[in-house]
Structure 1
Amino acid sequence: MRIEFSSSPRASLGVEWELELVDLDTRELRSGASEILTEIRPEGAAEHPKAKHELLESTVEVITGVCTTVAEARADLAETVEQVRQAAAKRNLGVMCSGTHPFTDWATQDISPHTRYQRLIESMQWLARRLQIFGVHVHVGVRAPEKAIPIVNALTQYIPHFLALSASSPYWQGKDTGLASARSKVFEGLPTAGLPYQLSGWDQFEAYMETLISTQTIQTIREVWWDIRPHPNFGTVELRICDGLATFDEIVGIAALAQCLVERFDRELDRGYTLPLPKRWVVEENKWRAARYGLDAEIIADDKGTVVPLKQAISDLLEDLTPVARRLDCVAELSTVDRILKVGASYQRQREVAAKNNGDLTKVVDALMAEMRDGLPS
């Protein structure tokens, strides 16, 4: 099976942001996506070009076009988010983003009428029905298919970095899970989700996808929801590991980190280097540690079992990537990652709000909506 890869300009960027629609009276998730998307779509268009349905009717996904810089991606997102926010406000709905809603029961939620999602529910049943989870996906352009798989493999080393920085799902249906990212564990329930397989190259990727389709495991390659995957149609490597990010500040920090890493690996391949391929057991263990402990995790740094604090590993990585960020004009955006380390990731901020309000999770929802409006706390 031949899979065409629509090669992209190196380091081009796209971001997808899944937004929750919240009833301003109850703070529960509430349906409204279909009405909002109908209202904001351009006249005569079948759909909005940058706002889409997701699995739940209480979700609107906003996406950028193909951007060159992180600043451009932020401006692109902001325009669409404002359209969604205004349309939501007319319906007494607020907008926020977190990996999971702190207390809404997934069983109360309406499924999107889109055929794709109806088919997913029919196929996966309970595993799909409970996917009341929200994330951020970052696409970075890659110029050739032979680069995509080595870059995907190399990026798995940084799964704990992205997951801990974005972790925003400590609560599930009103209970503290004890995890920084419950979302990542819920999503792993799907048979084609989770860590990517370590493939040797594009030909092996094609052979694997052919097997899945021919055995009717999937209908299209879009149904392989790896934490990091090549996206042939867009000509990108797509990072899907992140929990939902509450603020534009966090969006640009994560996008800059992704863009810089892919750019660095792309250039190393041009120079004839072989990219690192971390051991599968190390990747699995590090992902678990980030999901459980977030930024307080200690991760395995090599095959010998050397352990380092994740915060220090992130700080060291920021220093290493600063020259790349200068070339990509995203130094300011990359520095936002350091701000996250200082003020805490969303899971930490949510727990702080709950602790100050005797466990009242409606106050956590209020704080998430305020952060969407005002940005990362100082």
Structure 2
Amino acid sequence: MHIPFTPSEGSSLGVEWELQLVDPRTRELTSGAVEILEDIRPPDADEHPKAKHELLQSTIEVITGVCGTVAEAHADLAETVRVVSRAAEHQGLALMCAGTHPISNWATQDISPKPRYQQLVAHLQWLARRLQIFGVHVHVGVRSPDKAIPIVNALTAYVPHFLALSASSPFWVGHDTGLASSRSKVFESLPTAGLPYQLSGWDQFESYMETLVSSQTIESVREVWWDIRPHPDFGTVELRICDGLPTLDEVAVIAALAQCLVQRLDDDLDRGHTPQSSHDWVVRENKWRAARYGLDAEIIMDDHGTVVPARQALFDLADELMPVARRLSCADELAGIDRILAIGASYQRQRAIAEASGGDLTKVVDSLLEEMATGLTA
């Protein structure tokens, strides 16, 4: 099976941000996507080019165009969020984001009327129905399919870095799960989700896809929901591991980290160096540690079991990538890693609000709504 790959010019950037629609009075997830997206639909188009349906009618995904820099992606998202937010207000709703909603029950949610999502639920049943989860996806352009698979392989070593930094789903249907990221565990239950396979090259990816398509397991690469995957149509490597982030500030940090890492790995390939990938069992354990402990995780660094605290690993990685960030004009955004480490990742901020309010998770919702509107605190 031949899968054409559309090359990208350098490390271009695209970001997708899944937003929750919330009734600010009840603090519950509330359907409204159909009405909001119809309200903002241009008169000469079937849908808004940068705001889309997702599985639940209480979700809207906002996406950027093809951007050159993190600052451009930030501005692109901010404009679309402004448009969606204004339309949401007309419906009595507000926007927020986190990997999960602290109190709403997935069983009460309406499924999107889009045929794709109706088919998904018909096929996956309970696994799809409970996908009341929200993420941030970052696409970074690569120039050829020969680079895409080695870069995906190498990026698996950084799964715990991205997950610990973005973890924002400690609560599930009104209960503390004890995890930093419950979203990552809910999502990986899907049959084609979770960590990517370590493939030898583009030809093996084509063979994998041929098996799944020929057996009618999937229809296209869009149904391969790996934590990191190649996207042939866009000519990108897509990082899908991150929990939903409450602020544009944090989205920009994650986008900078992704763009810098892919650019460095791309540079290594240009120099004739195949980027090193970690063993599956190390990657799998590291993902679990980040999902469970977040920034307090200890990341396994080699086959001998050497561990480094996630905070230190992130600090070191940001320092290591800073020359690349300067080249890509995202040094300020990459430096935002230090800011998140200082004030805490979202799961930590949410738990602090819950503790201060005696376990009242509606106060957590209020804090997420406020962060969406105002950004990170100093």
Normalising by structure 2, we get a TM-score of: 1.00
Q: Name the SS of the counterpart of 1:373 in structure 2.
A: helix
2:278 aligns with 278
**Aligned partner letter, 1:162:** F
Distance, in Å, in 1 between the alignment partners of 2:42 and 2:185 is 38
Note the C-alpha offset of 1:303: 1.0
Report matched runs for 1:106-145 at 5 Å. Answer: 106-145=106-145
Report matched runs for 1:216-231 at 5 Å. Answer: 216-231=216-231
Q: Name the SS of the counterpart of 1:376 in structure 2.
A: coil
1:161 aligns with 161
**Aligned partner letter, 2:300:** I
Distance, in Å, in 1 between the alignment partners of 2:316 and 2:370 is 31
Note the C-alpha offset of 1:149: 0.2
Distance, in Å, in 2 between the alignment partners of 1:162 and 1:188 is 16
The answer to whether 1:374 aligns with 2:374 is yes
Report matched runs for 1:331-350 at 5 Å. Answer: 331-350=331-350
Distance, in Å, in 1 between the alignment partners of 2:141 and 2:220 is 21
Cα deviation, 1:70-126, whole Å, max 9, x if unaligned, reads 000000000000011001111110100000000100000000000110010000000
1:43 aligns with 43
CA RMSD of aligned residues (A): 0.5
Distance, in Å, in 1 between the alignment partners of 2:116 and 2:232 is 19
Note the C-alpha offset of 1:277: 1.3
Report matched runs for 1:14-33 at 5 Å. Answer: 14-33=14-33
Range moving further from structure 2, 39-48 or 293-302: 39-48
Q: Name the SS of the counterpart of 2:56 in structure 1.
A: coil
**Aligned partner letter, 1:156:** T
Distance, in Å, in 2 between the alignment partners of 1:86 and 1:354 is 29
User: Percent identity at matched positions?
Assistant: 72
Cα deviation, 1:288-341, whole Å, max 9, x if unaligned, reads 000000000001001111011010000000000000000000000111111111
Note the C-alpha offset of 1:355: 0.6
Distance, in Å, in 1 between the alignment partners of 2:376 and 2:9 is 31
Unmatched 5+ stretches in structure 1: none
Q: Name the SS of the counterpart of 2:335 in structure 1.
A: helix
Normalising by structure 1, we get a TM-score of: 1.00
1:179 aligns with 179
The answer to whether 1:97 aligns with 2:101 is no
1:148 aligns with 148
**Aligned partner letter, 1:221:** V
Cα deviation, 1:125-158, whole Å, max 9, x if unaligned, reads 0000000000000000000000000000000000
Note the C-alpha offset of 1:41: 1.3
Shift >3 Å, 4+ stretches: none
Q: Name the SS of the counterpart of 1:183 in structure 2.
A: helix
Q: Name the SS of the counterpart of 1:372 in structure 2.
A: helix
Note the C-alpha offset of 1:43: 1.6
Distance, in Å, in 2 between the alignment partners of 1:242 and 1:121 is 23
Distance, in Å, in 2 between the alignment partners of 1:377 and 1:364 is 15
2:250 aligns with 250
Distance, in Å, in 2 between the alignment partners of 1:377 and 1:296 is 21
Note the C-alpha offset of 1:220: 1.2
Distance, in Å, in 2 between the alignment partners of 1:55 and 1:360 is 28
Distance, in Å, in 2 between the alignment partners of 1:62 and 1:337 is 23
1:293 aligns with 293
Cα deviation, 1:270-292, whole Å, max 9, x if unaligned, reads 00001111000000000000000
The answer to whether 1:359 aligns with 2:370 is no
Note the C-alpha offset of 1:216: 1.1
